[in-house]
Amino acid sequence: MIDITKIKLSNAQIAWRAAQDIEDGAYVNLGIGFPEMVAQFQPHGKQAIFHTENGVLDFGKSPDKGQEDWDLINAGKKAITLNPGTSFFHHADSFAMVRGGHLDVAILGAYQVAQTGDLANWSTGKGGIPAVGGAMDLVQSAKRIAVITDHVTKTGAAKLVDTCTMPLTGVGCVTRIYSSLAVIDIEAAGFVLREKIAAISLDDLQSLTGAPLHLDGPLQELACPKELA
């Protein structure tokens, strides 16, 4: 079995790749934790408008260390900066924006993603610590749901599976996965492989994926800036 720890993309590289697909002017919500990194990698000439569930719209980059204003935080309690025109609003109004379908993109983490687009990302099951947050609202309301994730668990088990065995966040909601090894779309056929890192063969990638990978066009190399590794 190939040792993927030596070849897989870093979290920063995965976040960078996901950021490249966000359209200029899109309203975007980033999940707490790893997905928050996507905001650091806005492509030149594009600017997303980031929304956070605790009531801020169009916030800026993270402040330099030591320059934090802890009255200005996102839903993950990370310090943020303000852009000209940043707006603040009540928590209930923030969720009204989500549930009203006003977000173009939500990028979330995952414990499991099924080939049907089902997402499990709030609990590992019995004995796990639940952390529902706003994910269940986001996956039912945002126009596009993407996942960024390691391709396998820390024990090597597949996170991209035939059927989720963990409690579901949403059904048939995920359309694209950015993993540490590949970019995969979810379509009627299931997992459709669009890009993979050059260092892994298609057979090895399939062996690490819990459902069939399909090809329906040219397969691109998944290349990210090396300085982010």
**What residues act catalytically?**
53
Q: How many residues are there in the chain?
A: 229
Asked if 26 and 203 touch (Cβ cutoff 8 Å), the reply is no
- Cα 135 vs. chain centroid, distance in angstroms? 11
Residue 197: closest CA among 8, 4, 3: 8
- Identify the H or E element spanning 99: helix 91-99
Q: Which residues of 107-133 are buried (b: 16+ CB within 10 A; e: fewer)?
A: bbbbbbbbbbbbbbbbbeeeeeeeeeb
Is the Cα torsion angle 62, 92, 133, 103 positive or negative in sign?
A: negative
Q: How far apart are CA 68 and CA 98, in angstroms?
A: 27
In sequence order, what are the residues at sequence separation of 6 or more whose Cβ sits closer than 8 angstroms to the Cβ of residue 42?
19, 22, 48
Provide the β-strand partners of residue 57. 51, 87
